[in-house]
Structure 1
């Protein structure tokens, strides 16, 4: 992708990308045994690369001494993981040729730090568009990103974007029903300033700290029977019959840590941000187009609180949306909003735009670099 200059409200935001690319697409059959479902990944990835990437994610999230100490515990807890995830994780361990504890830790490690921007919008004719940037501080994930078509009886039951080795979903679509994305809910945000050698300017990456440590999340999942946030997304995509049903499920089912669930439907007004505590919803923030609220922007903090001074993602996204206008919003223009700096930033792994009413237009781009 070439250098793009996007003009919004008289301010020029420069978006640079050296080589954005589409991730591979893989079909995963829900009709085969759980421990065999993810076998198609082996045709896409070198096994040594997968092992190395998994170790990098685990080691950067879970301290090595804890990793060693927790292995026997994780192996004991594996029997309590519900189906189909237990079978799928067991199959992953077999494909990887590694201990099942590594794959369990890998899946819980991904639950820790999903820094994101999600936007749901409605145009003037009632069409709903949903876009998200997913940010993780692991550069290797760009080469692990994969679009998955979950097949049942030969048809697409639902689809999503995830990472090889991870059975959950942070981004997904149930065709002609709803779209969903998940954002980490953070209490504080720390900043690291990085000097760009390209434009000779300083930029920041933001590192939200979630409410629960990873070991608290595991205890919550196993002992309290709470769902990992990404597993609940996947379960909702498979089971919910429509947008309202999806909202109810994502608002009420106990989960292991706080999160934001953002949903878009197929009818006018079907857009919402659900702010979640572990036990239930803390707030439900729907679209209100009759009063001019034709979009909702969610990053990593509660919408009723002021944004941290040095994290401009929310404000910049809103300015870009206002400049675009409701009469010009579309999947293409929403992608441009999500490409504006710092909405798209140094740790953005991928951007997805989707609309449940036109499921064939689901599009993901892995971002090489946004500055």
Structure 2
């Protein structure tokens, strides 16, 4: 799939812009602060309904405007001329609205899965160097890109967790016996958390198991190193031994493991007033060879590892039969010449590749395609660039 037309109204720095896009490579070149990242952020927003730069929608609306509109036409592929138009109206402080082919849909979530993207940006270094929440967020993003309905499961899990935490806080500080009524209510929320949590956990475990061979190969292709990129899911729950993919029987076993852990930690959870068991407490241990990447890997190794995880997810989606749009936001400036050339060779075959760079020379010449200059909220095709399709 690929995006062949992008329209922004009051999005970030753009009052209005209409931009034709093409299959193959498009490179946006411009000094920092000129708006090149805003363009690729908008494409990714239509795929994920979130920004890779901020946690709320308010900064996405141009200063002085009340709302922003992101609209794109998405084509199925080179051999399929079908097209759909996706649109999200961003309303800070109010519910966002979405349209598909100009017709309103009940919820923006209805758009998920129509456009798939994989985006790598400098902030993704936190996947390797940051706290466990960064690795959970990355893995959940891959999960929901593969299976868009899991976005609803993740939302249900967060809602159940909040309600369970509310109950635990109301019981907080009780190290003695909890009343029978409160215990029964807590058991109900335990069942809900285990049921939904086991589905999320199943998706994470399956995805990590299938992702890492691709990520390890990507690391070997990019980084001139003898170290192997490895990963292992770390849960605070004693998980059963399971094959991958995990079926219904395995999911039931995961739910039982979650229930057993909640029963074991009940007194601690009541005393502290917070849920101590569940996928929200888990981590992914990333290793280079025998050593943890966090704390031991150099900056270059960490950068290459984070990039490899994103490229691995790109290849995993391809193996699933999906051709996502690949977005590299200000990536090449951080790489030495060898890694640049290796990365370019790896990503050049993507059906659509969107690249941003402050300096045109940072992007290897083998990434032939359209080159656009971005300056003062204006996007201008470079006369020296040319179409790759």
> 1 or 2, which has the higher strand percentage?
1
TM-score (norm 2): 0.28
TM-score (norm 1): 0.29
Structure with greater Cα Rg: 2
